[in-house]
Amino acid sequence: MRTYRTRQSGFTLVEILIVVIILGILAAIVIPQFTNASEDARNNSTTSQLQTLRSQVELFKLQHRDQFPSDGATAGVGNFAWAMMLVKTNDDGTTTGTPNLGPYIPTVPTNPRNSLSAVSTLAADPAAGDAAAGKGFVFSTATGKLYVTDKDEKVTAD
C-alpha cells in the first residue's frame, strides 16, 4: 500500500514577515506625501481666496470714489470693514436711499490658515513675519493690498 503525504498549503511566518515589512516601507513613503498634499491644498485655497478678495476690494474702491471699505460712516474713513463689502451701498459708502453698488462678497471670509476673519489696518505694507495677533487678514491703506496671516498670526508673503 502506498501512502501519500499531503502538503498543507499556506504561508510561512517568514513570508508573512517579509510582506509586512514591505507594506511598512511603502506606508512610510506614501503617508508623508498625503500630509504635504493637504498643506498644499490649504495654501492654494488661501492664494485663490486672497486673489478674489483683492479684486473685490479694488472693485469697491473704483466704485466708491477711490475709497476703501471702512468702519466709518462713509467709505475710506476708519479701519477696513468687511461689513461694507456685504451690503449694497451708494458711491459715497452710505446705505441710505436706494443703494445700487455691491454687495462684493457673500459672507465675511475666514482665513484657511488660522480660521480668523478679523482685519488689522496698517498705514503701510506689512513685512512678511510681522505679528498680527488675533487677525486673519492685514490691510494696507497705502497700497490697498490685503494680506493673510499664518497659523501663528504672522503676515505671510502672499
Mean pLDDT of 9-34: 90
Domain range holding 79?
A: 14-148
Query: Could you report the per-residue pLDDT of 76-131, keeping only the tens digit for each?
Result: 667 899 999 999 999 988 889 999 999 999 999 999 989 999 999 998 999 999 99
What's the CA gap between 80 and 122, in Å, rounded? 9
Kindly state whether residue 157 falls inside one of the protein's structural domains. Answer: no
Our count of domains for the chain comes to 1
Kindly state whether residue 65 falls inside one of the protein's structural domains. Answer: yes
Could you write out the DSSP letters of every residue in 11-46? --HHHHHHHHHHHHHHHHHHHHHHHHHHHHHHHHHH
Q: Are 60 and 99 in contact (CB under 8 A)?
A: no
> Does residue 7 surpass a pLDDT of 80?
no
Kindly state whether residue 52 falls inside one of the protein's structural domains. Answer: yes
Q: How far apart are the first and last CA of the chain?
A: 86
Kindly state whether residue 123 falls inside one of the protein's structural domains. Answer: yes
The band of 9, judged by pLDDT with boundaries at 50, 70 and 90, is confident
Residue holding cell 475709497?
Answer: 67
Kindly state whether residue 156 falls inside one of the protein's structural domains. Answer: no
Q: Please classify residue 34 by burial: count the beta carbons closer than 10 Å to its beta carbon, then call 0-12 exposed, 13-18 middle and 19+ buried.
A: exposed
Query: What is the number of other CB atoms lying within 10 angstroms of the CB of residue 78?
Result: 14
**What is this structure's pTM?**
0.76
> Does residue 143 surpass a pLDDT of 80?
yes
Kindly state whether residue 51 falls inside one of the protein's structural domains. Answer: yes
Q: Are 74 and 96 in contact (CB under 8 A)?
A: no
Kindly state whether residue 2 falls inside one of the protein's structural domains. Answer: no
Kindly state whether residue 36 falls inside one of the protein's structural domains. Answer: yes
Torsional sign, CA 20, 22, 23, 25: positive
